Amino acid sequence: MKNVMVRAWEIAKAAVVKFGGKVKEYFAQALAMAWAEAKAPKYTEVELKADTRKHRTWMAQIVGTHPTFKLDRKFLNQDGTDEFGDKIFRLKDGAYEFNNGNRRGFFLIQNGVKVSATQNEINSYIA
């Protein structure tokens, strides 16, 4: 509870700096924003198959565009494994590309929900 109130004051004070006025004018909305931040999931877990001799699995966050490779990627390390050796990634909101054995694709995480996406949707998301 204390963290939510502290965060609400931070948001309200930032609004005063940006828009002017008094902190108490922004506090109600800032409190709602702070509660939304506190309730939102911090990450979404995504699981990929374990590596095999023929195929490596990987996860990459798409961070922008690249002149040669079209998409600029940041390859991620796994956050853990399950009992079968499958890789577990804890991801925040954003655009991602994965290779899961023979299958490669894209997805978006928006408000903690994983949604499949095409490369065109990823391009419009990062633009």
Residue closest to 75 by CA, chosen among 100, 93, 98 = 98
Write down the pLDDT at residue 47: 92
* Domain count within the chain: 2
Q: Within this chain, do residues 25 and 71 fall inside the same structural domain, yes or no?
A: no
**Are 67 and 90 contained in the same domain?**
yes
Global model pTM greater than 0.75: no
Q: What is the pLDDT of residues 4-53, one digit of tens each?
A: 999 999 999 999 999 999 999 999 999 999 998 888 767 889 999 998 89
Are 52 and 88 in a shared domain?
Answer: yes
44 within 8 A of 91, measured Cβ to Cβ: yes
Which domain, by its residues, includes 8? 2-39
- In a shared domain, residues 64 and 49: yes
Note whether 28 and 86 are same-domain residues: no
Claim to verify: residue 35 and residue 50 sit in the same structural domain? no
